[in-house]
Amino acid sequence: MNSKIKDSDIKISFIVAVFNIEVFVSECIESLIHQTYRNIEIILIDDGSTDNSGKICDQYASKDSRVRTIHQKNRGLSEARNTGMRNATGDYIGFVDGDDIVSLECARIAVETLKRSPCDILFWKYKQFIEAKQCYDNQTSVRDYRRVNSPKCLEELLLHNLNEEVWNGIYKKTIAVTEKFPAKKQNEDVFWKYRVILKANDIGFISDQLYFYRIRPGSITQSPFSWKRFDSLEGRYIRTKNIIENYPELKATALSEIYAEAMFLYSDVVSSLHGEERKLGLKRINYYLDKLPFRFSEILFSDKISKMRKVTLVLSKISFAATSRLKVFILKRLGRDVFGTH
């Protein structure tokens, strides 16, 4: 790998969705404008903020020519990202949530990796944080790199070896812009990420932690039950069907993933809703699962699915309700985040 690269080689567009995060947005932008690799653009999408977030974005744009602010009426995260993609001029696109932070070496390490081994998508590791001072380190080189094809990457996604979110990597613009994020959907990443992977030929993975995801009260993933949680199940249903159509060999893995999500959602519905609302919630879960039947042989003879998933899938045929409660109970006893880890 070359120790030096020219800034003119590859341009990365970082799309930052911003909505009412005036307390955090400066830390996010600072982590981008101080990238050690300079050939980047930073597109700040102010999605109708009612606090000072938009003004802060404008201040940075007035000082750095690589920064652009686009103000729009509040249309949600998906439309903010779609706006960013329409305006991106880079060779690759990266997505950043406006309250998160990117390693100062992110762009440099990404470009060095792409120059050594060109690929359509490059993924890296991420780390959760609460305070920004936890994020900055001295990573200077790629410790581990591997390259896979589309079906292998999809398998990693279904097995949760690759996270659902889109912000842990960069995507070749010519591929990324062919897919739009779904409007007015929560868990929009579930609908988008796999479709781009389907269109990619080569996907790279590096072991460095280059993205830092902020944990804070009030964020979507920290909120109580909402009917929007069913967006995640809908997205997984569509994803499962499409993956099976393209790669039948991934059927067992795809089915095991959506059944696992349905079990966690079932537990959430039962513990959060009552009466007719509970009945409606359970009916919606069954609607998707009834369209995705499986045979025991498809599951039992798969060498990709864990024993835990195999057992729960088989038991779910006997009693989906009892199996869901048992699985959540066991994971809680093990100290697992049952709504974040499948």
Give the Å distances, CA to CA, from 130 to 127, 217, 299.
Answer: 10, 10, 40
pLDDT single digits (tens) 111-123: 999 999 999 999 9
324: amino acid identity, one letter: S
Q: What is the pTM for the complete model shown?
A: 0.90
What is 89-128 written as a DSSP string? -SSEEEEEETT-EE-TTHHHHHHHHHHHS--SEEEEEEEE
Quote the distance between the C-alpha of residue 26 and its chain's center: 22
Helix (H) / strand (E) containing 207: strand 203-214
CA angle 195, 201, 206 (to 5 degrees): 90
Structure tokens at 266: 């079932």
Inform me whether the pLDDT recorded for 137 exceeds 60: no
Would you say residue 342 has pLDDT above 50? no
User: Cβ(162)–Cβ(123) under 8 Å?
Assistant: yes
Distance separating alpha carbons of residues 49 and 21, to the nearest angstrom: 8
Q: Is 270 helix (H, G, I), strand (E, B) or coil?
A: helix
Cα dihedral across residues 307, 311, 314, 316: positive or negative: negative
Q: How many CA atoms lie within 13 A of 265 on its CB side?
A: 25
pLDDT (tens digit per residue) in 43-102: 999 999 999 999 999 999 999 999 999 999 999 999 999 999 999 999 999 999 999 999
pLDDT of 340 > 90? The answer is: no
Q: Which CATH superfamily is domain 12-221 in?
A: Spore Coat Polysaccharide Biosynthesis Protein SpsA; Chain A (3.90.550.10)
Domain range summary for the chain, segments of one domain joined by +: 12-221, 224-333
Does the structure show a pLDDT above 50 at 228?
A: yes
Give the model confidence (pLDDT) of 154-208 as tens digits.
Answer: 999 999 999 999 999 999 999 999 999 999 999 999 999 999 999 999 999 999 9
Distance, CA of 166 to CA of 163 (rounded, Å): 8
Torsional sign, CA 243, 246, 247, 252: positive
Strand partners, 51: none
Both tokens of 169, joined, read 């990597």
247's CB contacts (< 8 A; 6+ apart) are: 151, 154
| Model confidence at 220: pLDDT above 60 | no
pLDDT band at residue 333 using 50, 70 and 90 as cut-offs: low
Q: Counting runs of H as helices and runs of E as strands, what totals does the chain give?
A: 13, 9
What are the pLDDT digits (tens) for 208-218? 999 999 987 65
CB atoms within 10 A of CB 67: 22
Q: For the chain, percent helix, then strand, then coil, each to nearest 5? A: 50, 15, 35
Which whole-number Å values give the CA distances from 85 to 48, 50, 67, 82, 201, in the listed order? 18, 23, 15, 5, 21
**Whole-angstrom Cα distance, residue 197 to residue 122?**
11
Lowest mean pLDDT across 33-47, 163-177, 298-312: 298-312
**What's the rounded Cα separation, in Å, for the pair 108 and 5?**
8
33-58 burial: b if 16+ Cβ within 10 Å, else e? bebebebbbbbbbbbbbeeebbebbb
